Amino acid sequence: MRIAVLALQGAFIEHERMLRQLGAEVFEVRQLRHWQQPKDGLVIPGGESTTMMRLLHDLRLFDPIRQAILGGLPTFGTCAGLILLDRQHLGTMDILARRNAYGRQLGSFHTVSAVQGIDSAIPMTFIRAPYIEEAGPAVQVLAEVGGRIVAAREGRQLVTAFHPELDGNPAVHRLFLDSV
């Protein structure tokens, strides 16, 4: 299985390590020519969503990535990746993200909570994290923390407001790879 990792900015290396640990072949997408390689899935990491959106447009990646996701490419977005998949950005998931929902860097936190589809509670690291403010009827809520949606799935798209790549627990990445 071959997974593309959007490597424009953010915590992409940590995702790559986790995916390789689970046996996936990984390659980085930095330019359109990288995107044109064969792939079985896509990871959009955390980072700065405004910067990532600008780069997607500047590098002519926005439309091909959007079309591939709409065409059924399994996709996993964390933090900024969640924001990029929402209605106002790539528009591939019927969700609306609230950016920086927990405040600035000082509002970052760590907790342990359950995620539907994973047998035991997992660690969750939130860094200037969003949450899902609205979820359409086809969206399956997978986790909530403090009454706010922090993980969801729609079709072959999976999103988390937290950073599972930073906690050393491969459960969420395994959940993603199971959809590939």
Written as six digits, the tokens of 92 are: 């591939």
Contact 167, 109 (CB under 8 A): no
Marked catalytic residue, from 14, 16, 154, 165: 165
Q: Is 153 exposed, middle or buried (0-12, 13-18, 19+ CB in 10 A)?
A: buried
- Structure tokens, 88: 């106002």
The answer to whether residue 15 is catalytic is no
Beta-bridge partner residues of 159: 77, 152
The yes-or-no answer on residue 144 being catalytic is no
Q: Could you say which of 14, 79, 89, 173 is catalytic?
A: 79
CB 135 within 8 A of CB 93: no
Q: Do residues 180 and 174 touch, judged by C-beta distance below 8 A?
A: no
Residues in the chain: 180
Query: What three-state secondary structure class fits 166?
Result: helix
Q: Which active-site residues does the annotation give?
A: 79, 163, 165
